[in-house]
Structure 1
Amino acid sequence: MHTLENKTTCTIAAPISGDKILTGDRATGPLHIGHYVGSLQQRVILQDKYQQTILVADMQGLTDNGYHPEKVSSNILNVVADYLCVGIDPAKTTICLQSSIPALAELTMYYANLVSVARLQRNPTVKSEIANKSFGKSIPAGFLTYPISQAADITAFNGTLIPVGEDQLPLLEQTNEIVRKINAIAGEEILVECRALLSKVPRLPGADGKNKMSKSMSNSLLLSASEQDIKRVVKSMYTDPKHLNINDPGQIEGNVVFTYLDAFHSDSKYIETLKRQYQEGGLGDGHTKKILEECLQDFLRPIRLRREMLMNDKAQLLSILKEGTERSQDEANQVLRRVKNAFGLNLF
């Protein structure tokens, strides 16, 4: 017997007129250049063409930090500052706070009654993250159910196009399963299914070349990185371990320095020339790292200065977040009313 849970439901698509973008980040730390390459630069472009909401996901940040809530609460404004310093405009993009929109928690509760524990445990993204975090048998219930919370976020803002990486596709599939179940209960389409907008940019590896970029692994470069931070991280970057002498032919694949040069250097033809020199022999790692450091210093300097100004005016950051959250309440409440009607719970 086939059920809704067995169907692949997430369409991968390009934006179309009228799409509503929903995206966001867990507030567990300042954002880094991996976030910039993977999502932030795309959001800056999307905000000029589409209605876009960015959710600061503080409640989801607690799903694996419940005993250390300060890690989340202390980083909410850090994340907002990171958005603004790279060019996200609150006049074009609504920035809101998850915990200050009660409808999201209520929707999560209703949706949770339609999803089995076994289904959550089968979700490949959840399985992978549980393994990475080494929970063992002590998996917080909030962490196991965060795909349901994510479904509440997407549907509350009528998100139709969700920018994600390929590893997040199972989460969107689960959202669409919930949408169809709610619509079946309602007997009409009260929620819309979402589609994935996959980034064309490959995920930026950490400086160690072994793991994805993560502050907890000390292999990341924050958007707020100082000149000394940049120098230190670039110096430590993984290159080609067999490239022992300048005249030895070097390998480009897996060489983090060249991966970052591809992502951040403005002159792609120059980088292609460097690659040929490195592969043929005659170009040292010290020289390529110097080029990359100069490139990253130039890229991050204006971002860091804008961010410092923003963090010196936290009242402005709070005002922007409060205004965006208040704007979001109405839309989320309308969706909540429709879902409650489907369950027959709007008695007064």
Structure 2
Amino acid sequence: MKERILTGDRPTGPLHLGHYVGSLQQRVRLQQTHDQTILVADLQALTDNGQNPKKISDNILNVVADYLAVGIDPTQTTICLQSALPALSELTMYYSNLVSIARLERNPTVKHEIHYRGFGRTIPAGFLTYPISQAADITAFRATQVPVGDDQLPMIEQTNEIVRRLNSIVGAPVLCECQAMLSHFPRLPGIDGRAKMSKSMGTAITLGATENQIRAAVKAMYTDPNHLRITDPGQIEGNVVFTYLDAFHPDAGFIEELKTHYRRGGLGDGQTKKILEDCLQSLLAPIREERQRLMQDKAMLIEVLRQGTEQANEVSQRLLLDVKRALGLSLF
């Protein structure tokens, strides 16, 4: 039996290069060897977009198109919609009785996000309980591997705490623990170099970016502020252009030579940015074209999502029934 994997994305906008290098490439490979489910997490996206639900509904098919455009095959990977899987919400309710508010507030990822979004005590209840919802998603598909960024490791830890707690209460291994699967580039910085790539902060290059958008983004990229003249030695560390070259350029040997040249001086930022732009234009052109073609047939995208959701519903309902029986809540 293939090992089970659950992964997914919040449909708050089209996916970008951070998603591509952090998870999408990995998913394309994993679908050949694993039983993989990808969740379009619209319910979780509402936890900090509750006042603007249209933002979420408008982007669901955008995300599905991104999946297919990069090579995720719906005949090999189950693509499903979170809000159409009632077992997930019911599991979330059961698990919420096993976790204290204090424990949720101690979750490092939640603490960071509360501070980042300036919630304070106005934090939506749904956002605070995000880790519980994520635990429901993972356990509903009996996933043993969960591809995540390093900032999501506390979520995996909290999922496993819930698993152990429920198993201890019912006296049987109803749920299984999972492990985080980190990519080689779990966190790609934005073009400004200050944080991970973000759609909301305008520091992302989307998979559907036009040639002009790619060119403008590369031109605006943060480099070495002390590299004022071409002859000056340059610093690679923290230089976003070289971070992206490491992530996306197919010739690692050439990039190492480029780094050596930049460090000793004699290589301008304009030249390194041109190399990166050419690389990204070549990478994104076929994805953009395929994405445009897919978005012209929204009925097909909806059907892919419907079929995957039907399959996911069967799997998640079986796990829900196991949990209810273990808790003594399945009387009929």
TM-score by length of 1: 0.94
Amino acid at match of 1:196: A
1:153-206 deviation line (CA, Å, top 9, x unaligned)? 011101111111222111111111111122122221111111111222252111
Count of residue pairs brought into register by the alignment? 332
Amino acid at match of 1:215: K
Counterpart position of 1:292: 276
Matched, 1:94 2:78: yes
Matched, 1:29 2:29: no
1:290-332 deviation line (CA, Å, top 9, x unaligned)? 1111111111000000000000000010000000000111111
Match of 1:275 among 254, 259, 276: 259
Counterpart position of 2:237: 253
Q: What is the CA–CA distance in structure 2 between the aligned matches of 1:281 and 1:55, rounded to whole Å?
A: 47
Counterpart position of 1:83: 67
Tell me by how many angstroms 1:268 deviates: 1.5
SS at match of 1:173: helix
Q: Is the 8 A contact 2:235 2:262 kept in 1?
A: yes
Amino acid at match of 1:241: P
Counterpart mapping for 1:184-333 below 5 A:
184-333=168-317
Counterpart position of 1:7: none
Match of 1:157 among 141, 144, 161: 141
Amino acid at match of 1:239: T
Q: What is the CA–CA distance in structure 2 between the aligned matches of 1:250 and 1:332, rounded to whole Å?
A: 53
SS at match of 1:24: strand
Q: What is the CA–CA distance in structure 2 between the aligned matches of 1:279 and 1:134, rounded to whole Å?
A: 40
Q: CA RMSD in A?
A: 1.0
Q: What is the CA–CA distance in structure 1 between the aligned matches of 2:186 and 2:10, rounded to whole Å?
A: 21
Tell me by how many angstroms 1:68 deviates: 0.4
Matched, 1:74 2:41: no
Q: What is the CA–CA distance in structure 2 between the aligned matches of 1:136 and 1:196, rounded to whole Å?
A: 29
State which drifts further: 159-168 or 37-46: 159-168
Matched, 1:142 2:130: no
SS at match of 2:120: coil
Match of 1:60 among 44, 50, 75: 44
Counterpart position of 1:14: none
TM-score by length of 2: 0.98
Q: What is the CA–CA distance in structure 1 between the aligned matches of 2:153 and 2:248, rounded to whole Å?
A: 27
Amino acid at match of 1:211: A
Q: Is the 8 A contact 1:27 1:72 kept in 2?
A: yes
SS at match of 1:266: coil
Q: What is the CA–CA distance in structure 2 between the aligned matches of 1:202 and 1:184, rounded to whole Å?
A: 33
Counterpart position of 1:12: none
Counterpart position of 1:176: 160
Q: What is the CA–CA distance in structure 1 between the aligned matches of 2:189 and 2:121, rounded to whole Å?
A: 30
SS at match of 1:215: coil
Q: Is the 8 A contact 1:182 1:342 kept in 2?
A: no
Q: What is the CA–CA distance in structure 1 between the aligned matches of 2:122 and 2:23, rounded to whole Å?
A: 31
Tell me by how many angstroms 1:136 deviates: 1.5
Counterpart position of 2:107: 123
Tell me by how many angstroms 1:339 deviates: 1.1
Amino acid at match of 1:328: A
Q: What is the CA–CA distance in structure 2 between the aligned matches of 1:276 and 1:185, rounded to whole Å?
A: 59
Q: What is the CA–CA distance in structure 1 between the aligned matches of 2:143 and 2:261, rounded to whole Å?
A: 47
1:270-299 deviation line (CA, Å, top 9, x unaligned)? 211211111111111111111111111111
Q: Is the 8 A contact 2:150 2:187 kept in 1?
A: no
Match of 2:26 among 28, 42, 61: 42
Gapped regions of structure 1 (runs ≥ 5): 1-16
Q: What is the CA–CA distance in structure 1 between the aligned matches of 2:73 and 2:2, rounded to whole Å?
A: 19
Q: What is the CA–CA distance in structure 2 between the aligned matches of 1:167 and 1:221, rounded to whole Å?
A: 21
Counterpart position of 2:326: 342
SS at match of 1:40: helix
1:30-73 deviation line (CA, Å, top 9, x unaligned)? 10001101111001110000100000000000000001001111
SS at match of 1:22: strand
